[in-house]
Structure 1
Amino acid sequence: MYRNIYKGIAVASMVLLTACIMPKKQDYMPEGVSEKLFRTELPADSLSSAAVSWRDIFTDLLLQQYIGKALTNNLDVKVALQSLQSAQAYLKQSKAVYVPTLSIGANYTRSTNSINAMGGVGERSHANLWDITGSASWEVDIWNKLSAQNRAQTASYLATLQAQKAVQSEVVATLATAYYQLLMLDEQKRVLEQTIDFRQKSLQTTQHLKEAGSATEVAVKQIEALVYNAQAQLITINNSVWALENTICVLLAEEPHSIERSNLSAQQFPTDFKQGYPVKLLENRPDVARAVFNFCNAFELTNAARANFYPSFTLSARGGLSSTDLDTWFSAKSIFANLVAGLAQPILNKRQIRTQYEVQRANQEIALLNLKKALLSAGKEVSDAMHNFSAQEEYVQLKTKEMKAYQQATDFSKQLFDSGMVNYLEIITAEVNRLNAELSVAEAQFARMQYGISLYKALGGGWR
């Protein structure tokens, strides 16, 4: 039925290398999803940047220390690790599905007959029974039901493993973004502090000009307002720095404290990403791999549910020692044993088997739709991040040119004002534009790093 639904192989090779649980002749690129996920042509021979360790992407030594600490201490990472250990325990249990069940027990029974049950005739008697009994049962996996359940549990474990990788990738991306944002705020803070110092000096100069009759009170108040505006912006920046440092501390699972850091100009963030082959690179994404394993799990559970329609063949054995006298308990005459081979075919069971099968078929279809959604979402994220990162370099260059132009305009306005050729309003306008441009350059540089982090994460990087 599904032979015409699935096309191509998106991640089959990865899954097969990880564990041989993929159904035969089963492909995992749903219909409607092609390799043209990113709205661009990518070189087929390039390596994927997602395969590069985060240490090679984020070269800031302080950031590397924070990421290493977060991957060890972060609470979300620890929760994911506990979930993985739980899934591993279930996996070990599933591997024992072929082993017979075995139990052993020792019992002592003392019984007394009822005289009234025999019409009130006779005498009361007592009987003792001592026994040690061992029981074993083994279901023969004729229809591969047990094998399907084992493969389903293996897929569930691997899906949990991918979920842990996704948590690690998210922690790395979130921490790196917060760190770079902190550097951006430091740069903006430096610009504002310089601006405040400059405007305060400009305010003093204007006050002297007013006293000399060369400027008006309006000019003084306008520049005074600019000083207050910059000081207010500095308070906002300081508040953001404080909150961001606390956010990083939470990621590190530490109490709030100041964060040691470098500066924005010292960063050597990668200028280019090798995106790799379109669909092949998605093998690195934990969410896509998890969707594949979830589909494997649903597929195998459907097979196991289908096998419930067929008869089950069970071998049972029971044996031990049984005696009415403790003295003869451990003798050859006390040994008993029996072996039963049973074949059971379900006929009427309140429709439970069919309901279970139909539910699993629906779950399999849901898993397939979720896989398709994961692939399309991954393609969108990579496409968006790739485009934004590529375009941001030019954006930074343009913003830098804009900043330099406003800086020159401010210098020229001051010279013209000193010569009496322009009024103070032109100086104020030029000064405001200069400050906004300098702040925008810092934001543009951070945005480029943010897009780079998003692209690295979208390609499946961060967990290696």
Structure 2
Amino acid sequence: MKKLSVYIKGTAFSVLTLAVVSSCNIRKEYERPKDAVNENLFRTDMLPKDSLSMAEISWREVFTDPILQRHIEKTLENNLDIRIALQSINSAEAYLKQSKSAYEPTLSIGPNYTFQTQSVNTQFGQIIGARRYVNQYDITLSLGFEADIWGKLKSQEKAQLATYLGSVAAHKSVKSGLVASVASAYYQLLTYDEQKKIITETIKVRESNLETTKALKEAGTLTEVAVQQSEALVYNAQASLIDIDTQIQLLENTMSLLMAVPSQSIERSTLEAQVIPAEVKTGFSASLLANRPDVMQAEYTLMNAFELTNAAKAQFYPTLKLTGTGGVQSVDIDHLFSVNSLFASVVGGLAQPLLNKRQIRTNYDVSLANKESAYLNFRKTVLTAGKEVSDAIRVFSVQDSFINLKTKELNAYKNSVSFSQELVNYGMANYLEVLTANVNALNAELNISNAQYSKMKAAVDLYQALGGGWR
């Protein structure tokens, strides 16, 4: 009974100590930095703010071309970067499960065999007087438990949770980037198709002009110089056609890689069939924190660094550990499972680190530096997001005016070509004027198709910049 009383008192002392010390938890809760985002994060002087952001709708509602939708779906299903990101999530989830199990005690059991003999020439050997051999058998159960009195284990769990959520956000970021990349490449292909059509028609016109020029030379109206210049324009357009065909094939190869399929021709519709959002809703600046995966990932990285700083700080304080062992032990295997072979011990104590070669201080200083770096990276990511939104808004908002002016420019050049050709036919103008107007007309027409692509690309960029594409 006396031994039992001592055991109860020792256990009560340990529990009391645990209760008192636990009340002194030094762990701090994470709070988002107040200066992380403000209402003027991106420039919306040309567009009104709205409580709803276009990023909050599915990419299927933004990219309505059914062929493009099939390409995006195939990319999200097959892309290797997506699959790599999924494995990162699985890895982070495994570490998270491990951190949640840190509160549980460790338990091990196993049989052991020990053979021992003492030196006869030692003091103990001289007392015994002869060499003896001892065989010992035991089956030992070991139990260990560390009390989380300073919140260290809790901080480590929170850090792993932030890592897991960051990997999920990274997966979303990959999806968002892939959706934008496929849509942009698709629109670029349609633009190349349109430009190929323009160049093909230009070749026909220039070949016809070349025949006219040769006829005018035979009539004595023009010289061989005009013929050679007309011929050069035909070759120039034919070379441009080869270049545009090459660009189409290279872009098809890129899209094939995104879809994780061998390089092949890409099915597509036409530039005229595309419908882009007529109304842009940016939402408020704060919505970037909830919509943009890269911003979410940067904040989770900051949360991870914050919690690791908590864990590093807890290393300065005492550690309360409870250990216990028990089992059966005997020098004779025949009596191993008898009542007299039973043994047990329970140890509980606090260990305060004093000298450890500055390891704890170094870990803490490094954690503070990592936390500051994570904060600066988070802040930079937020500002970059605001800049990307501002850029996309500007490009998207001016393209209609730009296309309108370029269309007027094209019409003027076409009229100039017609008038110049007519004047040349009557010997009233230099053929160089026709050539110049012809080149300018082609460039203006190509510029219009590029402007149409720029508007669609700006819509894609704005959708991605606001955090859309992963839903």
The two structures share one fold, judged by TM-score above 0.5: yes
Change (3 A) 1:109 1:202: same
1:121-160 maps to which residues of 2 (within 5 A)? 122-160=129-167
2:102 is paired with a residue whose SS is coil
What's the secondary structure of 1:256's corresponding residue?
Answer: coil
Long gaps (5+) in structure 1: 1-21
Closer/same/farther in 2, CA of residues 121 and 434 from structure 1, 3 Å limit? closer
Equivalent-residue separation in structure 2 for 1:125 and 1:281 (angstroms): 78
1:245 lines up with 2:252 in the alignment: yes
Contact 1:110 1:129 in 2 (8 A): yes
Q: 1:107 aligns with which of 106, 109, 112?
A: 112
Determine the structure 1 residue equivalent to 2:181: 174
- Distance across 2 between alignment mates of 1:174 and 1:23: 41
The C-alpha deviation readout for 1:68-92, integer Å capped at 9, x for no partner, is: 1212222222222222211111111
Correspondence for 2:21: none
Rounded to whole Å, the distance in 2 between the matches of 1:116 and 1:425 is 117
Matches within 5 A, 1:275-314: 275-314=282-321
Residues 1:67 and 2:72 aligned together: yes
Q: Give the direction of change, closer, same or farther, for the CA distance of 1:323–1:25 in structure 2 (3 Å limit).
A: closer
AA partner of residue 454 (structure 2): A
Provide the TM-score with structure 2 as the length reference. 0.89
One of 56, 61, 68 as aligned partner of 2:61? 56
After the TM superposition, which parts of structure 1 deviate over 6 Å for at least 4 consecutive aligned residues?
none
**AA of the residue aligned to 1:38:** F
Residue number in structure 2 paired with 1:83: 88
- 5+ residue gaps, structure 2, are 1-26
**In structure 1, how many angstroms separate the alpha carbons of the residues matched to 2:56 and 2:138?**
63
Distance in 2 between residues matched to 1:124 and 1:282, nearest whole Å: 77
Q: Could you say if the C-alpha distance between residues 101 and 390 of structure 1 is closer, same or farther in structure 2, counting changes exceeding 3 Å? A: same
Q: Which moved more, 1:283-292 or 1:70-79?
A: 70-79
State how far apart, in whole Å, the 2-side matches of 1:25 and 1:291 are: 14
Q: CA separation in 1, counterparts of 2:245 and 2:219?
A: 38
CA distance in 2, matches of 1:23, 1:440: 58
Query: What is aligned with 1:214?
Result: 221
Cα RMSD (Å) of the superposition? 2.0
In the aligned structure 2, how far is the partner of 1:325 from the partner of 1:43?
88
The answer to whether the 8 A contact 1:48-1:276 is kept is: yes
Map Cα deviations across residues 163-205 of structure 1 (whole Å, 9 max, x no partner).
2221222222222211111111111111111110111111112
Could you state the TM-score of these two structures normalised by the residue count of structure 1? 0.90
**1:83 partner letter:** S
Cα distance in 1 for partners of 2:127, 2:379 equals 79
Asked if structure 2 preserves the Cα contact closer than 8 Å seen for 1:50 and 1:281, the reply is no
Residues 1:35 and 2:39 aligned together: yes
Pairwise CA distance, 1:115: 4.3
- Name 1:226's counterpart in structure 2: 233
Question: 347, 359, 372: which is aligned to 1:365?
Answer: 372
Task: State the one-letter code of the partner of 2:136.
Answer: L
1:202 and 2:209 aligned: yes
| Offset from partner CA, 1:251-295 (integer Å, 9 cap, x none) | 122222221211111111223321011222342111111111111
Q: Would you say 1:383 and 2:382 are equivalent positions?
A: no
The alpha-carbon deviation at position 441 of structure 1 amounts to 0.8
CA contact 2:135–2:331 (8 Å) conserved in 1:
yes
- Name the residue aligned to 2:451: 444
Partner secondary structure for residue 135 of structure 1: strand
- Deviation digits for residues 58-113 of structure 1, max 9, x if unmatched? 12222212211212222222222222211111111111111111111111223344
The amino acid across from 1:126 in the alignment is Y
Q: Deviations over 1:402-435 (max 9, x none)?
A: 2222223323333444454434233222211111
Q: In the superposition, relative to structure 1, how do residues 381 and 127 fare at CA in structure 2: closer, same or farther (>3 Å)?
A: same
What's the CA shift for 1:304?
A: 1.0
Aligned pairs, number: 442
